[in-house]
Amino acid sequence: MSFLYKLSQFFIFPGSFRAMLLWPKFSLASFLIVNRLKSIGVLPKTIIDVGANVGQFAIASSKLFESVEIISIEANQDAVEKLKRNVKKISNVDVISSAVGDYDGSAEFFINSDSQVSSLLELGNVRSTLFPKSKVVRSQFIPISRLDSLLASSKIREPLLLKLDVQGAEEKVLLGADLTLKRAKWVLVEFGFFDLYKGEPSFDVIYKMMIGHGFQLEGIMNTHLSPDGSAIIEMDVLFLKN
C-alpha cells in the first residue's frame, strides 16, 4: 500500500486511528479486510486462522466481530512466541503451533527475515527480485498436520470462516481439509501471482478446488501491490458456500 492510500483508508473507516493506538498489534490490511467482510454480511462464530503470523488478523477479528472464537495456527516458532504475547490478554483466541498441509508428519520450513514471507515453499524469482531484503535466513524441519487432524478435538461453533494465508501452500492446506471445508460457510484465501514461490498453484487451480467443494467466488477483499505500484501481486479472495 502506498502512503497516500493508507492515509485515505484511515479517514474512510472510523475507528482505525484508535485501533492503531490501542490494539496490541495493528495491521491496516487486516483492519480493512474484517470491515469489508462485515459490510457484506460475513459474521462468523468461529474463525480458523491458518497462517496467523503474529496475530494481525486474529486481533482485528477479535476486536471487530462479536462473540467470535478464533483458532490461530502458525508454523514459524519465532512468530508463534510473538503471537502468544500479542493475544495474551484476549480470551477468545487459541494458538496452535504447527505447519498445515496435506499429510501428518514433518516438513522443511523456510524461515525468512520477514516472518510474513516464511513458507513451506522456497522463494520464487519474482519475490526475490521485488523484495530483495526478504531473504531466507534458515530452514528447519517442523511438525506438519492436516487441518482436519489439528481440529479433530476442537469445538467449533458455526458459521465458520476459514482464513488461509500460507504463502503459496494454500493448495496443500485445502487437500488436508475436507472435513473442515464441509463445515465452513466462508473461506478467505490469499492468492499469489507471478513467481512468488516455487511450486505455488495458480488461481485457476485453487478456484476449481473451491468450486469442487461447493463454494462460489464472492469477492475480492484486499489486494497487495508491487513496491512500485504497477501490478497486483497478491489478493485476498472470499468464497461463499453455495
At 27-39, the pLDDT tens digits run 999 999 999 999 9
Q: What is the pLDDT of residues 86-143, one digit of tens each?
A: 999 999 999 999 999 999 999 999 999 999 999 999 999 999 999 999 999 999 999 9
Q: What is the pLDDT of residue 8?
A: 61
Domains of the chain plus CATH, in order, are 3-241 (3.40.50.150)
Confidence grade of residue 15 (pLDDT, cut at 50, 70, 90):
confident
Task: Specify the amino acid at residue 193.
Answer: F
Burial class (CB in 10 A: 0-12, 13-18, 19+), 141: exposed
Q: What is the pLDDT of residue 14?
A: 73
Alpha helices in the chain (DSSP H): 3-12, 16-22, 28-39, 56-64, 77-86, 125-130, 147-150, 170-175, 178-183, 203-212
Confidence grade of residue 189 (pLDDT, cut at 50, 70, 90):
very high
* Sign for the pseudo-dihedral over CA of 9, 29, 242, 167: positive
Nearest alpha carbon to residue 188 among 61, 91, 88: 61
Q: In this structure, what are the phi and psi dihedrals at residue 198, rounded to the nearest 5 degrees?
A: -70, 125
What average pLDDT does this structure show over 213-220?
Answer: 98
Q: Could you give the count of Cα atoms lying within 13 Å of 152 in the half-sphere of its Cβ?
A: 7
CB contact at 8 A, 126 and 226: no
Q: What is the pLDDT of residue 171?
A: 97
Q: What is the pLDDT of residue 75?
A: 98
Confidence grade of residue 229 (pLDDT, cut at 50, 70, 90):
confident
* Rg value, the chain, Cα: 17
Confidence grade of residue 10 (pLDDT, cut at 50, 70, 90):
low
What average pLDDT does this structure show over 217-223?
Answer: 97
C-alpha cell at 23: 490494539
Residue 7 has pLDDT above 70, yes or no: no
pLDDT, the chain, mean: 94
Q: In this structure, what are the phi and psi dihedrals at residue 238, rounded to the nearest 5 degrees?
A: -105, 130
Residue 4 has pLDDT above 60, yes or no: no
Q: What residues does 239 pair with on adjacent strands? A: 187, 217
CB contact at 8 A, 30 and 60: yes
Burial class (CB in 10 A: 0-12, 13-18, 19+), 122: middle
Q: What is the 3-state secondary structure (H, E, C) of 169-206?
A: CHHHHHHCCHHHHHHEEEEEEEEECCCCECCCCCHHHH
The whole-angstrom separation of Cα 112 and Cα 90 is: 27
Confidence grade of residue 2 (pLDDT, cut at 50, 70, 90):
low
* pLDDT above 70 as % of the chain: 95
DSSP one-letter code for 122: P
User: Would the pTM of this model clear 0.85, i.e. be above it?
Assistant: yes
